[in-house]
């Protein structure tokens, strides 16, 4: 049997021979080409290790929550090594949907009626094969909130369901109105500021599994909605804990960032077209109250919100809507343990708008900030198909809350 050391030596020897043969033509027949290649590789490796791979910054409003995370979630103290060939923010953001695998998940769909006559689609993953929690009435449950136009079929949602399944937990995905194929019954969709549908869903889930512990995880706009809900309801919230990924904390700063030329080209225009496609899909019922032709001419998310979202939810102006939708103003009122993961290079949620000072004033909230990761990216490993840094944060925190959360009962 060939030893690993010998095998590695053979590999490097073959690689060196190959490189010499490839570069010697046109480079004076010497080893100059190999030296250039190896020199560049060494320089890139040094840059990556010194400037890219770094430990995240953990900020918590109280010592108790900070220590809990250090003890129960090793990932908060470990160096985050972004995938070395795609660590840049925009590349991580753009590639994640295509690079990460989509685990197969079989959902049980439930449609529930809202007081206004609308319907909301919930996708349940019951995990009836759970060996850790065979009693379904006591099985820990995670409510998942996708991003702006996301559904239960987004790769990041499927990964969280997979992590929960491995731990023996149940999941339920809250799909916003009209996004997952169901018919829109009333001329109303959703927004980050309005939490009425979320409140109804949480009450419904808690009635359905009244003995099981429940926590929630929100991604991007789903995280904003969740944080706004926590801030509004305060001590009324019965969730065991919350984890939020890539939330936009100040909507004014988020939209301004996305209106910079490159980011407008890469993200803003595309997201605007996705929002318009969703509106156009339900044009028949929406055009009874709104000027859909005017909405379809919007070029940016801001213009879309000015013409549609702020009007639908009755705000005097778009500025009033953006102010109400910004979770940064409600962090002080959060009264359940909430861990928030953001990347400092996320163009959707710029670093200067991450609410560091507000978090320091609330012992129930903690921020985990990585240098890189983009927006819902957090890719790591040579070929990041199966798991991301975000997945590991989700897994460790949910397990910590469900299995050791009693120490978080009083964080003041």
Residue 220 annotated as catalytic: yes
Give the helix ranges, DSSP H, for 209-317: 221-233, 251-258, 261-263, 269-281, 283-286, 292-295, 301-304, 310-312
Predicted pLDDT at 66: 96
Can you tell me the distance from the alpha carbon of 170 to that of 212, in angstroms, rounded to the nearest whole number? 10
Predicted pLDDT at 313: 98
Predicted pLDDT at 4: 42
Predicted pLDDT at 31: 62
Can you tell me the distance from the alpha carbon of 69 to that of 411, in angstroms, rounded to the nearest whole number? 13
Per-residue pLDDT of the chain (412 residues; tens, 9 = 90+): 444 444 434 444 544 444 444 444 444 445 667 777 787 788 888 888 888 999 999 999 999 999 999 999 999 999 999 999 999 999 999 999 999 999 999 999 999 999 999 999 999 999 999 999 999 999 999 999 999 999 999 999 999 999 999 999 999 999 999 999 999 999 999 999 999 999 999 999 999 999 999 999 999 999 999 999 999 999 999 999 999 999 999 999 999 999 999 999 999 999 999 999 999 999 999 999 999 999 999 999 999 999 999 999 999 999 999 999 999 999 999 999 999 999 999 999 999 999 999 999 999 999 999 999 999 999 998 888 889 999 999 999 999 999 998 888 877 6
Phi first, then psi: what are they for 202, rounded to 5°?
-60, -45
Can you tell me the distance from the alpha carbon of 332 to that of 358, in angstroms, rounded to the nearest whole number? 7
The residue assigned the tokens 């879309």 is 304
pTM for this structure?
Answer: 0.90
Phi first, then psi: what are they for 367, rounded to 5°?
-115, 135
Which residue in the list 220, 246, 257, 349 is annotated as catalytic? 220
Predicted pLDDT at 200: 98
Predicted pLDDT at 382: 87
Q: Which of 339, 328, 341 is nearest to 364 (CA)?
A: 339
Predicted pLDDT at 240: 96
Q: Which of 40, 24, 42 is nearest to 32 (CA)?
A: 24
Neighbours of 95 (CB within 10 A): 18
Tokens for 212, please give them. Answer: 């099981």
Neighbours of 54 (CB within 10 A): 16
Which residue in the list 346, 349, 372, 387 is annotated as catalytic? 346
Can you tell me the distance from the alpha carbon of 390 to that of 75, in angstroms, rounded to the nearest whole number? 10
Predicted pLDDT at 1: 41
Which residue in the list 250, 310, 375, 391 is annotated as catalytic? 375
Q: Which of 157, 147, 64 is nearest to 365 (CA)?
A: 64
Predicted pLDDT at 14: 47
Residue 257 annotated as catalytic: no
Predicted pLDDT at 45: 84
């Amino acid at each position: 049997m060939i030893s690993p050391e010998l095998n590695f030596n053979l590999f490097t020897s073959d690689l060196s021979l190959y490189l010499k043969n490839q570069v010697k033509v046109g480079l004076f027949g010497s080893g100059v080409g190999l030296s250039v290649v190896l020199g560049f590789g060494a320089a890139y490796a040094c840059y990556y290790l010194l400037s890219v791979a770094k430990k995240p910054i953990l900020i918590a409003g109280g010592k108790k929550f900070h220590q809990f995370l250090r003890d129960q979630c090793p990932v908060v103290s470990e160096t985050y090594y972004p995938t070395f060939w795609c660590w840049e923010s925009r590349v991580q953001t753009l590639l994640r949907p295509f690079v990460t695998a989509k685990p197969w998940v079989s959902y049980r769909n439930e449609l529930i009626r809202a007081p206004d006559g609308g319907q909301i689609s919930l996708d349940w993953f019951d995990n009836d094969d759970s060996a850790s929690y065979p009693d379904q009435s006591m099985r820990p449950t995670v409510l998942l909130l996708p991003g702006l136009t996301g559904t239960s079929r987004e790769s990041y949602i499927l990964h969280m369901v997979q992590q929960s399944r491995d731990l023996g937990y149940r999941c339920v995905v809250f799909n916003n109105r009209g996004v997952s194929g169901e018919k829109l019954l009333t001329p109303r969709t959703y927004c980050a500021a309005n939490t009425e549908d979320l409140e109804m869903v949480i009450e419904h889930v808690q009635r359905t599994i009244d003995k099981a512990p429940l926590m929630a995880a929100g991604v991007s706009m789903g995280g904003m909605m969740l944080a706004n809900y926590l801030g509004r309801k305060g001590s009324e919230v019965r969730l065991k804990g919350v984890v939020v990924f890539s939330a936009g904390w100040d909507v004014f700063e988020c939209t301004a960032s996305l209106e910079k030329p490159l980011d407008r080209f890469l993200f803003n225009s595309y997201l605007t077209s996705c929002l318009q496609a969703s509106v156009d899909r339900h044009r028949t019922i929406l055009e009874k109250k709104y000027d859909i032709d005017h909405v379809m001419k919007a070029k940016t998310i801001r213009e879309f919100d000015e013409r549609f979202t702020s009007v639908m939810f009755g705000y005097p102006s778009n500025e009033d809507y953006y102010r109400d939708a910004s979770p940064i103003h409600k962090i002080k009122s959060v009264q359940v343990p909430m861990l928030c993961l953001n990347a400092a290079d996320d163009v959707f949620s710029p670093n200067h708008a991450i609410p560091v000072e507000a978090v320091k004033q609330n012992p129930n909230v903690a921020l985990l900030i990585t240098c890189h990761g983009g927006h819902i990216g957090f890719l790591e490993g040579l070929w990041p198909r199966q798991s991301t840094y975000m997945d590991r944060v989700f897994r460790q925190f949910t397990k910590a809350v469900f299995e050791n959360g009693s120490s978080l009962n009083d964080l003041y």
